[in-house]
A = this chain, B = another copy of it.
Amino acid sequence: MINKEELLQKIPKLLDELKNKNPLTHCITNFVTVNDCANAVLAIGASPIMSEDIEEVAEVVSISDALVINIGKLSHEQVEAMKVSSAQANKINTPVILDPVGVGISQLRNKVTLELIENYKLTAIRGNITEIKTIAKLTGIISESNTAKGVDVSESDIITKDNLNENAKIISKLAANLDTVILASGPIDILSDGETTIAIDNGDEMMPQITGSGCMLSSIVGSCIGATNPLEGTLLAALLMTIAGEKARAKVDNENAGTGSFRAYLIDYLYKLDGQTLINKSNIEIL
């Protein structure tokens, strides 16, 4: 059984490993937030490469430390590139991280998500709680799921203290069944590898009021796993993003600013956060 204090004490070392390795993070992602993803990866000390031409993706995977695939904006060509890249990554044991953006809003997204889950070894899946529960339904773990409204969290899915254990069980079971690490984002995040399940009660409600919070998090999950290991790397990424969000919000409030400034400050704090601050601000619970 992992001890919470021991886990937190590892955070500074994990952050050092990230900065020292400067992992090349290959992202196949959507055109809405791709710039934010590149800047987030750079801010934490990793190096992004956004490549999706089918003629070169396998070569790019071969020099990368992690592959992040994000289905926010699908196209036939991009899905083909995701498959070729994932196959190559699996072949050489490079971690693959999936962000199933908007799964549940169309048959196409459901189909693509299932194809990726069934045919490739995914090291981690990072989505909002509605997306994760949609996957649980699509794979038969649970029988019901709400209709997704766009790409945001459905209100009935929001994780609260009351339904935390119930949601944690679903996510843990899904992680075990798919043999992957899952990070489900919401006001409270749940992280599980099927054995260890952690609730992360950090972050700020302004995060979903900018586009890209989720995509950025998935990208840096890739960087952090590429430099460390799946469960701890995902925890590191989640703490970086949510605590950067808290600090950015405090600065916004202090300046009476809004979401445009929040977006810049979020990257500022991803760049600035150190290991001790992550320990001090973290609010996690091992379930």
Closest B residue to A211 by beta carbon equals: B38
**Stretch binding the partner chain, chosen from A148-156, A172-180, A183-191:** A148-156
CA distance A152 to B281 in the complex (A): 33
- The answer to whether A259 touches B149 (Cβ under 8 A) is no
Partner of A265 from B38, B63, B77, B261 at Cβ < 8 Å: B261
CA distance A209 to B40 in the complex (A): 10
- The answer to whether A47 touches B260 (Cβ under 8 A) is no
- Which B residues are in CB contact (< 8 Å) with A209? 42-43, 271
Number of copies: 3
- The answer to whether A211 touches B39 (Cβ under 8 A) is yes
Partner of A60 from B106, B265, B271 at Cβ < 8 Å: B106
- Which B residues are in CB contact (< 8 Å) with A36? 35
CA distance A158 to B55 in the complex (A): 29
Partner of A151 from B32, B49, B105 at Cβ < 8 Å: B49
Closest B residue to A257 by beta carbon equals: B268
State whether the Cβ of A53 lies closer than 8 Å to any Cβ in chain B. Answer: yes
CA distance A106 to B55 in the complex (A): 9
- The answer to whether A267 touches B259 (Cβ under 8 A) is yes
- The answer to whether B75 touches A53 (Cβ under 8 A) is yes
- The answer to whether B56 touches A73 (Cβ under 8 A) is no
State whether the Cβ of A33 lies closer than 8 Å to any Cβ in chain B. Answer: yes
With known contacts A263-B264, A271-B260, A48–B211 Cβ distance under 8 A: yes
- The answer to whether B258 touches A268 (Cβ under 8 A) is yes
Partner of A268 from B152, B211, B259 at Cβ < 8 Å: B259
State whether the Cβ of A3 lies closer than 8 Å to any Cβ in chain B. Answer: no
- Which B residues are in CB contact (< 8 Å) with A211? 35, 38-39, 42, 48
State whether the Cβ of A100 lies closer than 8 Å to any Cβ in chain B. Answer: no
State whether the Cβ of A222 lies closer than 8 Å to any Cβ in chain B. Answer: no
Interface string of A212-226 (1 = CB under 8 A from B): 100000000000000
State whether the Cβ of A114 lies closer than 8 Å to any Cβ in chain B. Answer: no
8 shortest interchain CB distances as A-B pairs: A260-B267, A258-B268, A258-B271, A56-B106, A38-B211, A260-B264, A56-B108, A260-B268
A-B contact pairs, 9 of them (CB 8 A): A35-B211, A35-B212, A39-B210, A42-B210, A43-B259, A48-B211, A49-B102, A209-B271, A264-B264
